[in-house]
Each structure stands twice: as C-alpha cells, then as structure tokens.
Amino acid sequence: MTIDAEVQALSRVPLFEGLESSKLRLLAFISDRMEFQDGEDLCHQGDDGDSAFVVLSGEVAVFVDGNEVARVGQYAIIGEIAILCDVPRTATLRSVGVTHILAISKEDFLKLIAEFPKVSLEIMRVLALRLEKTTRELAQARPAPS
Amino acid sequence: MEKSLFQFIWKNSARYQVAILLVTLLSYPVSYILLDLPKKITNEAIQGSNFPVDFFGMQLGQIQYLAALCILFLVLVVVSNCIKLYLNVYKGRLGERMLRQLRFELFQRVLRFRLPHFKKVSSGEIIPMITAEVEDVGGFIGEAFALPAYQGGMLVVQVGFIFMQDPLLGLAAVSLYPVQGYIIPKLQKKVVRLSRQRVKNVRVIADKVGESISGISEIHGNDTSAWHSADLSSRLYRNFRIRFDIYNRKYFIKFVNNFMNQLTPFFFYFIGGYLVIKGELSIGALIAVIAAYKDLAGPWRELLTYYQMTADVSVKYQTVVENFDPPDLYEKQRLLDDEALAFSGPLAIDNLGLSGVGSGQEVHGVSLTIEPGKPTAISGVDGSGRAELLQMAAGLLSPTSGSVSVNQTSFESTAEATLGRQIAYVGGHLHVWTGTIRDNLFYGLRHRPQEKIEYEGSDLKKRQRQLKEAEMTLNPYFDLSARWEDLEQANVSSIHELEDKALELCNVAGFSRDLYLLGVETVIAKSYCEDPACEFVTSLLRARRAFSDKITDDAQLRNLVEFWDPKKFNQSANLAQNLFFASPKEHFMTIEHLPYDPQVSAFLKKSGMDEHLTEIGLKIATTMVELFADVSADSDLLNRYSFISREDLPEFDRIVKEHKGGLQNSRIKTADRARLIALALKLIPAKHRLGVLDEEMQEKIVASRAQFMEAVGRQNTRFEFFDPDTYLTTLSIEDNLVFGHARLDRRDARQKIQKILQEIVRDNDLIVPIRRAAFDYHVGIAGAKLSSHQRRLICLVRALLKNAHIYILDETASGLSAADKALREDLQKMMSEKVFLFGVSNDAVAEEFETAVHLENGRVIER
C-alpha cells in the first residue's frame, strides 16, 4: 500500500475531511505505517496517549476494563483525542487478525498544525461542530422541565 | 644533552662530517679543472697555432686536441655531477638519521620526566617540539661543516686569484668584508631573539588549540567561544608581528649585503680604470679580475645564507633542548634495565614525606608496614594526601623525604622493570589506550618482546636494515611485530589461556555483561572469521539459522525481520543494499559516493539501472519538493522525515523544475544525475511508501544483483556480498546473526529481536565466545567509546592480570553499591598472598577492611 492509499484513508476521517490533499499527503508521509498480528495490542488502557490510529485494513477490538465494547473497521480513527490533549488511553485496542494501521504521532501532528495554521482552523471547525452536536444531544437527553 | 647544535652534531656525526669534507675536497680539483677547461679549449685548441701539441705524452693535431679536450670536459662533467649526487644523498641520509636520533632522544627524555614535571609542561607544547620544531635541524646537519668548507674554500681561491692579479684590487675586493662582518651579526642577533619569541609563541598557540579541543564542552557550555577566539586571534597577531619584524631584518640584511657587494665594482672601475690609464695594469687583467669578482658573489651569498640558517636552526635547537633537561630527570638505566627483582614480604613505608607541592597534596612523616595477606584501607578525603601517598607507595612519585621499600630495596633506586611488574596501581586518573580491549587488558604484560622472530629471505634483509639503522641512530632494537605479552608473568602457557584468564577476571570485576554487549557490536578480526574451519564462525552461522527459523515459525514473531534473501526484494532495506546486495569493505564509501565510483557507475550504465534510478530519484525529488516546499526552515519535520536535507532542497527544486517534462525530453547534467541516483539509492520502500517502485522494478532490481556480482567478481577487495551461508566480515556479530532488517512497521521490533537473539546465543553456547570476541572491540580514542565505569573496570582487570606482588587501588570499586561491595570482598579474597592497599574517601567503606588507616592533612590520624 502506498502513500496515495493512505491519503485516501485519511480523507475519509471526519477530523481531517476539510484538509487539502497536499497537507494530507504530508500528514500521511510523516505518519508510521504499522502491521499488527492477531491479538497484538495497539495500546493499553491507562497508558499515556501519544498517537492516533487510522485503520487502513482489518479490524480492531476495543476493550474497556477487560470487556470488549466495540469493534471498528477500515477508515476508522481511534484515539484521536490523544493527539490534541494529554489524556490517558480510555481503552485497550487489540488487533483482530492482521491489521494495517497508520499511526499519527502527537508530536508530529502538533508540529504540522504549528506549521500550517489553516489546518488548525479546519480542525477547530470540526471540533466545534462536534461540540455543538454534543451540546444539542445533551440538551435533548435532559428531561424537559416539568 | 648537548646544549649547542654544533656540539650535538660533532659528537654524534664527526666521522660522517669528516667523510663529507673529504669528498667535498675531492671535488675541488674537479671543479677547478672544469672551470679552467673551457678557457683552454677556446684559447689553445680553437685559437691556438703551435700544433702538434704534447698531451700526456701524445702528439696531437688541432682537431684531435680539440676532441681530446672536449671528451675530457665531458668526463669531468659526469664525474663532478656524480660526486654532487652522492654528496647530496649522503648528506640527506645523515640529516635524517641525526633527526631520528634527536627525536628519539627527546621522546625518551619525556619518558624519563618525573611525574610532577608534567604539571609544568603540556602535551600541546611538547608535541610540536619533537615533531615540527626540530625538522629544520635535519636538513641542516648534512651541510653543517661541508658548506662553509666548500664555499669558504671557493671564496679563498677566488680572492687569492684577484690578489695574484693585483694586490691593490685584491684589497678593494675585500675592503667591505670587515664592514659586512660587523654589521650583519649585529642585525642577525636581533633576528635570533625574535626567532626565539616566535618559537615560544607558536608553542603557546599549539597549547591553546590543544586545550580548546580538550575543553570543548566547557567552551560550548559557557558560551566562551568568543573569548577563546579573541585569545587565539591575539596570539596569531603577535605571531604576525614577530614574523613581520623578522622579515624586515632578514631582508634588510640581504639588502646590506647586496648593496655592499655591488659597491665593490665601483672601486674596481675607479681604481682599476685609473691603473689601466696609467699603464700599470693590463686591460685583460682588469676584465679577469672583474669576472673573478662576479664569481665571488656566489660563495659569499651562500655563506651568508648559511650563516643565517645556522643562527635560525641553533635557536630552534636550543629552545627545544632546554625544555628536555630538567635537573631531576630519572636515570636512563631506570627505563632500560630488564633485570626484574622478585618482590616478597611486606611493603615498608618509612617516615614518608612530600612537600613543595600544592596544598592538599602534601604528606608528612607517614610510616606504615603492610604485610602480605593483610588488606589495608587508606581512607581520607580528597586533599588529605591519600592519592599522593598511594602514588609514592606505587613508586610513581618520588618522596621528598623518607622511603618506600620492599626487603630493604628502596623504590627510588629500583628500575621500572621491577616496579612496573611487581606493583599494580589503578589510580584516580587512569588511561585507556586507543586500540582494542585486548590491547588494553594485556597492556600490563607488554614489557619487552617475548620472542625472537626468525626472518627469512627479503624479510630478513628488511629487518637487518632496520636493525642497522637503529644501531646508527641509538634507537632500540625491539621488534614490534613479535609477541610482547609475558605469559609467564600471568602464569599461563598460551595466548588462549591468557584470554581465558582475562575472561575469568572480567567476570570477577563485573565486566562480563558489558563485554557481551560490546561483543555483539564487534566486527570480528578478519583473519578469525575467514577461516572456514573456525568453530566460532560455524556456531555463529548455526545461530543465524536458528534465529531465522524461530522468527519464521513463531506466529507472534512472524515478519519481525526481513531477511537477506538473494531472490527477494527487501522492503525494509534501502535500494543500495537491495541492488548491490553487498556491504562495502571501505568505510569511506557512502551512498553519495557510490554514483561516482567507477566500478559502480560502469555497472549501473551496463545494466541500464542508471536510467531507472535517475527516474526514481526524480520522482522522489518531485514528491519531496511538493511535500516540504512550504514547510518553514526551522521546523524539524524536514530534518526528521525528508531524506533531502534543508540545504539540498533548493538544489533538488531546481532539478525538478528543469526536468518537468520527464527525462526523455531533456538532457541531464552528470552531477544532477549522480544526485538523483544517490537519492534513489537511499529510498527505503517500507519507510517512505512513496509508491515509486512497482513490482516489476523490484524484480528488475533483484535480477540485477547477479549482474553486479559478476561485474565486480565474487571475491573482490571492495564489496562483500550478502550470502545466507557466509559470515560477513564487514558486519558486526549482531548484524550477522540477524542477517536482515528489523521490520519498520512492527512495533518494538528491535527490542523483541534483541530478546530472541539473547535466547539463541545462550542456547548455542555463544555467550563466552562473544565475550571473547569483544576483546577485538575498538575502544575509540583513549577509550572514548566506553563509559568511564567500563574504562575503570578495564584498568582493574589489566592490573589483576599482571599478577603483581603489590596491589594499590585508589578510588576504584569504592562506591556504596552492592556490586562494588561484593567486588571489594572478592578482591580481598584474591589478595590473600599479596600486599593490598585500598584508597577510599569514604570511612565506612574503609571499615570493611581488616586494617584501616585514616589520613588527614597528610598525616595519619590515630582513632
């Protein structure tokens, strides 16, 4: 798989969807492509998060406190919060079968943002939209005042 | 040592100087006849009339006479030039021999300096003295007597000739010599003084440069480069001023000399003309005198140059030699004696004192007797005189009062042959020699060559010549290529046993683990691994197979390593390794260098790979320029991820722009092509994932490997091919075992590989052989590739291996860690029959010893 396929995958990630393709290429180039064997862990719950993972192929199981809570497949991004702020991993990620992952390291991602302010604007926009959505959902979920 | 240059020359080369003089004298008549002959040919043979003439008893006609004289002339030309050639070679050789002798003598004197002297002189000053400063002396020695004799003789002959023509003109010719003889030495004296200053100033410069190099981290750490720059710059300016003054005076001397030489003809024309007009001198004689005077200028100039050179070289000699004559030099015999006494019994320190040194280094009236088998700790903080006391006890430092002795033999009068073999000292300042670990461990056994190599044929001739030269220059006869390790002293019977013993002692010292880790990194000696019967290499190859089986079979470990497979493209290796499938034997051969290598470029052209690589390079460059063009200069994204450096990016940008339409449409410059090829060769497909290498191209690259091997030959001196069944002499043991590249896309691949490797090594009983291989590990300049702890352990093992009678350790294994404590216990056990002194600053550590002596302010304090 070459960098073009990775750019394809990155462009499907909501967080990066507004980025121009040249920046996506740079992001893909500075990220690490990893192969994980069946049962190998991508990260452990409670560890310091230092990178986000984009699933290029295969399937990843998400474990919280030892219980599998979800499975994610191709083009999913996992652990993206870790590259924006310092939080411990909230789940353990385990490869199901052989998976190919693009690991975006926090350090390099922040450098990229520092380098290109437009990228951070795009990301801010996506995050703001998410926050707005979450707030609305929260408001709806709250029982109406009687 | 001889204080003046001429004393030195005469004392050491009188015989040869006389020989040179004799041959020079021999050349006098030849050159005289040679000067005279042309006149004879023109006057007697060509213009003469009384033929036949008598020539050595033969009656010759005019043509025959002419022929005879011309042949004689030819013969003399040959003879005179042969004498000159012989003389020059003889003088040059004599000069070189004397220079060798002088340099060796100076170095030997450095070895004879007492320890405190090194607080006053620095290596930065000593090195130029022995190397550069005496260089001119060598060129001068051959000429020292011959030149003044020859040119002086010439001068006397010519002056005599003028006097014979007319005494008055003779007087005129020499009239200014007294004046010149008075003025020139006066001016020269000043030049000599300046030369002295110059030499000293240059030494200071050398010292400052040396100090800046050793203190480089302090300079960077304190931002003092400006200060050091200014310091050196002012020294350089001083040097300039001195040299400028020297030039002024030197050329003024030349000016005075030339002026006076040309003033003399004035007298000739004036007085001579007057005499001719008055009819008291023939015009022919005047012309002859003027011609003779012209010839006078040559010798006179030579003599003047000689005079200036003598002054210059003498100054250099004196300023060097005065530094090598301190009053308290050790006797030469102390170094040269080879009679080693066997020490036994207690070490007696009697009323020992050291004064006249810096405060905190003094020792006052210390008396101790240390019995064998009674380990004694000497405790005391830095500045209590502990280090000095122990150095005196080791015979390294001479006490100012009292004595150190064994069996009534005082160390002061004992040769190093005894002290250096019977005493082992590991002090605060230790030194690891540039070389291998083996060199360092066995260093304590290399006192004298232990065998006499029987040379044969041409080797014997070479050796005999070497010996003869050593004899003529008072150099030692020791054979460097002999075995120097004294096996008897270490109580072993072969080098292999010595290595075993060293391994055992490394184990005691706690150096084994380090030894293993260093061993894995070692590129083992060539002679060792090219021997197909070598058991070690066979086992390493077996371990390589075991490793590869393990990685291939285990599901979890699968694909951790991409092995070197002749038939497969290696995604984790760069294109250079993939294409050539070899490792270069020459260290300087980098990827940048490869496209320029004649063998490589010929192969690339022939196989058509150069076109492909250029294209790949261009594609990479295009992508890199596109990706990183608008990344700012100070971002380290570029340095970390691009394989084009920031400085090179504009250059590649230009290349990409020039060849936008593809390579077919434009001609490419050779240098640009080389750049692109080098770029392509650096590509690691799995890391860079640029998609510039399709499968077809990968197959092509794999197919080219055989072609390359054919082009350079399987057995060649420059490349070593990757072959699963061959141990590669250019790779470290680890690289040979793994024999491939760790997969870049597997997390923690390196650590996992290390772990498996250790298991494999253990299962194949390779741990000890690998430790042994570490003996070949090169420690870098003065052990720079080792940690300070490792250096100390090496020095400790060196001392233990020496099997001395007296052991003195200072600040070694003196920490509070469990490892150090255990080592101290082991050491005490090992020293059951030895005299053992252990210096430490911590009192609690000293309490572990049966006897502990406490020092304060250079005195023993009773508790």
Q: Tokens 């020139």 identify what position?
A: B184
B151-176 average pLDDT score? 82
Question: In angstroms, what separates the C-alpha of B814 from chain A's closest C-alpha?
Answer: 40
Greatest extent of chain A over all pairs of C-alpha atoms, in Å: 58
Contact A1 B690 (CB under 8 A): no
- Token pair listed for B340: 């080693």
Nearest CB to A115: which of B556, B635, B641? Answer: B635
Residue A145 pLDDT grade (very low, low, confident, very high; cuts 50, 70, 90)? low
By C-alpha distance, which of B23, B12, B7 is closest to B90? B23
Q: Which of B558, B637, B698 to mutate to test the interface with A (most CBs of A within 10 A)?
A: B637
- Token pair listed for A128: 């703001």
CA-CA distance, B504 to B515, in Å (whole number)?
12
Q: Which residues of B touch A38 (CB under 8 A)?
A: 555
Predicted pLDDT of residue B585: 85
CA-CA distance, B703 to B695, in Å (whole number)?
12
pLDDT digits (tens, 9 = 90+) for B650-684: 888 898 888 887 776 667 888 888 999 999 999 99
pLDDT above 60 for B529: no
Residues B809/B796, Cβ–Cβ less than 8 Å = yes
Interface TM-score (ipTM) > 0.90: no
Indicate the average pLDDT of chain B.
89
Q: What DSSP letter does each residue of B741-782 carry, written as one string?
A: EE-TTSTTHHHHHHHHHHHHHHHTT-HHHHHHHGGG-B--GG
Residue B377 pLDDT grade (very low, low, confident, very high; cuts 50, 70, 90)? very high
Residue B837 pLDDT grade (very low, low, confident, very high; cuts 50, 70, 90)? very high
pLDDT above 70 for B121: yes
Contacts of B795 (CB under 8 A, 6+ apart): B426, B430, B431, B432, B440, B812
Question: In angstroms, what separates the C-alpha of B767 from chain A's closest C-alpha?
Answer: 31
Contact A2 B691 (CB under 8 A): yes
Nearest CB to A35: which of B556, B559, B690? Answer: B559
pLDDT above 90 for B807: yes
CA-CA distance, B299 to B321, in Å (whole number)?
32
Q: Which residues of B touch A32 (CB under 8 A)?
A: 744-745
A108 interfacial to chain B (CB closer than 8 Å): yes
- Token pair listed for B449: 């060559």
Q: Which residues of B touch A115 (CB under 8 A)?
A: 631-632, 635, 637
Q: Tokens 């480089």 identify what position?
A: B216
Q: Tokens 């011309």 identify what position?
A: B70
What are the E-state strand segments in chain A?
A: 32-36, 41-43, 51-64, 67-72, 77-78, 92-105
CA-CA distance, B546 to B761, in Å (whole number)?
10
Predicted pLDDT of residue B38: 81
Q: Which residues of B touch A36 (CB under 8 A)?
A: 747
Nearest CB to B637: which of A22, A40, A115? Answer: A115
Nearest CA in chain B to A109: B637
- Helix-strand-coil split of chain A, %, nearest 5: 40, 30, 25
Q: How many CB contacts within 8 angstroms connect chain A with chain B?
A: 59
Nearest CB to A29: which of B559, B627, B744? Answer: B627
Contacts 24+ apart (CB under 8 A), B243-251: B243/B198, B245/B194, B246/B191, B246/B194, B246/B195, B246/B198, B249/B187, B249/B188, B249/B190, B249/B191, B249/B194, B250/B191, B250/B308
- Token pair listed for B861: 């304090």
Of B177 and B110, the structure prediction assigns the larger pLDDT to: B110
Q: Could you tell me the CA-to-CA distances from B120 to A48, B125, B323, B383 in Å, in that order?
A: 57, 10, 11, 20
Contacts 24+ apart (CB under 8 A), B408-417: B409/B341, B414/B341, B415/B333, B415/B334, B415/B335, B415/B336, B415/B337, B415/B339, B415/B340, B416/B334, B416/B335, B416/B337, B417/B337, B417/B338, B417/B339, B417/B340, B417/B447
Question: In angstroms, what separates the C-alpha of B631 from chain A's closest C-alpha?
Answer: 7
pLDDT above 90 for B771: yes
Nearest CB to B689: which of A2, A108, A112? Answer: A2
Nearest CA in chain A to B554: A37
B219-224 average pLDDT score? 95
Of B292 and B16, the structure prediction assigns the larger pLDDT to: B16
A11 interfacial to chain B (CB closer than 8 Å): no
A120 interfacial to chain B (CB closer than 8 Å): no
Question: In angstroms, what separates the C-alpha of A107 from chain B's closest C-alpha?
Answer: 10
A30 interfacial to chain B (CB closer than 8 Å): yes
Instruction: Please list the residues that pair with B695 across neighbouring strands.
Output: none
Instruction: Please list the residues that pair with B721 across neighbouring strands.
Output: B582
pLDDT digits (tens, 9 = 90+) for B426-465: 998 899 999 999 999 999 999 999 999 999 999 999 999 9
Predicted pLDDT of residue B19: 92
Nearest CA in chain A to B686: A33
By C-alpha distance, which of B2, B10, B92, B101 is closest to B469? B101
Residue B729 pLDDT grade (very low, low, confident, very high; cuts 50, 70, 90)? confident
B689 interfacial to chain A (CB closer than 8 Å): yes
Nearest CB to B641: which of A6, A29, A116? Answer: A29
Q: Could you tell me the CA-to-CA distances from B284 to B160, B272, B276, B289, B607 in Å, in that order?
A: 17, 11, 10, 9, 83
B747 interfacial to chain A (CB closer than 8 Å): yes
Nearest CA in chain B to A24: B627
- Parallel/antiparallel/unpaired status of strands B851-856 and B376-379: parallel
Coil/strand/helix, residue B799: helix
A33 interfacial to chain B (CB closer than 8 Å): yes
In chain B, what percentage of residues exceed pLDDT 90? 48
Q: Could you tell me the CA-to-CA distances from B15 to A116, B18, B60, B89, B275 in Å, in that order?
A: 84, 5, 45, 16, 50
Please tell me which of A82-96, A97-111, B498-512 the model is most confident about, judged by mean pLDDT.
B498-512
Q: Which of A26, A57, A94, A102 to mutate to test the interface with B (most CBs of B within 10 A)?
A: A26
Q: Count Cβ atoms below 10 Å from residue B673 Cβ, excluding itself.
A: 22
B636 interfacial to chain A (CB closer than 8 Å): yes
Predicted pLDDT of residue B528: 62
In chain A, what percentage of residues exceed pLDDT 70? 97
CA-CA distance, B726 to B538, in Å (whole number)?
9
Question: In angstroms, what separates the C-alpha of B748 from chain A's closest C-alpha?
Answer: 11
CA-CA distance, A137 to A141, in Å (whole number)?
6
Residues B376/B849, Cβ–Cβ less than 8 Å = yes
Contact A4 B691 (CB under 8 A): yes
pLDDT digits (tens, 9 = 90+) for B606-659: 888 888 999 999 989 988 888 887 777 667 777 777 778 878 888 888 988 888
Helix (H) or strand (E) holding B107: helix B62-112
CA-CA distance, B526 to B530, in Å (whole number)?
6
Residues B417/B339, Cβ–Cβ less than 8 Å = yes
Phi, psi at residue A54, to the nearest 5°?
-115, 125
Q: Which residues of A touch B746 (CB under 8 A)?
A: 34-35
Peptide bond into B346 cis (omega under 30): no
By C-alpha distance, which of B563, B613, B729 is closest to B721? B729
A44 interfacial to chain B (CB closer than 8 Å): no
Nearest CB to B747: which of A26, A34, A39? Answer: A34
Q: How far is CA B163 from the centre of its chain?
A: 57
pLDDT above 90 for B349: yes
A26-51 average pLDDT score? 87
Greatest extent of chain B over all pairs of C-alpha atoms, in Å: 123
Phi, psi at residue B648, to the nearest 5°?
-85, -15
Contact B745 A32 (CB under 8 A): yes
CA-CA distance, B277 to B75, in Å (whole number)?
43
Q: Could you tell me the CA-to-CA distances from B73 to B70, B80, B83, B227 in Å, in that order?
A: 5, 10, 15, 68
Contact A111 B635 (CB under 8 A): yes
Q: Which residues of A touch B558 (CB under 8 A)?
A: 37
Residues B325/B2, Cβ–Cβ less than 8 Å = no
Q: Tokens 């943002």 identify what position?
A: A113
Instruction: Please list the residues that pair with B838 across neighbouring strands.
Output: B377, B809
Residues B777/B519, Cβ–Cβ less than 8 Å = yes
- Residue B844 identity: A
Residues A101/A28, Cβ–Cβ less than 8 Å = no
B559 interfacial to chain A (CB closer than 8 Å): yes
Q: Which residues of A touch B555 (CB under 8 A)?
A: 37-38
- Token pair listed for A75: 């083009």
Classify domain B5-324 by CATH number: 1.20.1560.10
Residues 19-58 of B with CB under 8 A from A: none
pLDDT digits (tens, 9 = 90+) for B554-577: 877 777 888 999 999 998 899 999
Question: In angstroms, what separates the C-alpha of B829 from chain A's closest C-alpha?
Answer: 49
Nearest CB to A34: which of B630, B690, B746? Answer: B746
Q: Which of A35, A107, A110 to mutate to test the interface with B (most CBs of B within 10 A)?
A: A35
Predicted pLDDT of residue B821: 93
pLDDT above 70 for B344: yes
For chain A, domains (ranges, CATH) are: 3-140 (2.60.120.10)
Contact B627 A22 (CB under 8 A): yes
B343-447+782-861 maps to CATH 3.30.1370.10: no
Length of chain A: 146
Of B638 and B383, the structure prediction assigns the larger pLDDT to: B383
**What are the residue boundaries of the structural domains of chain B, listed by start?**
5-324, 343-447+782-861, 449-483, 527-765
Q: What DSSP letter does each residue of B155-216 carry, written as one string?
A: HHHHHHHHHHH-HHHHHHHHTTHHHHHHHHHHHHHHHHHHHHHHHHHHHHHHHHHHHHHHTH
Q: Count Cβ atoms below 10 Å from residue B118 Cβ, excluding itself.
A: 12
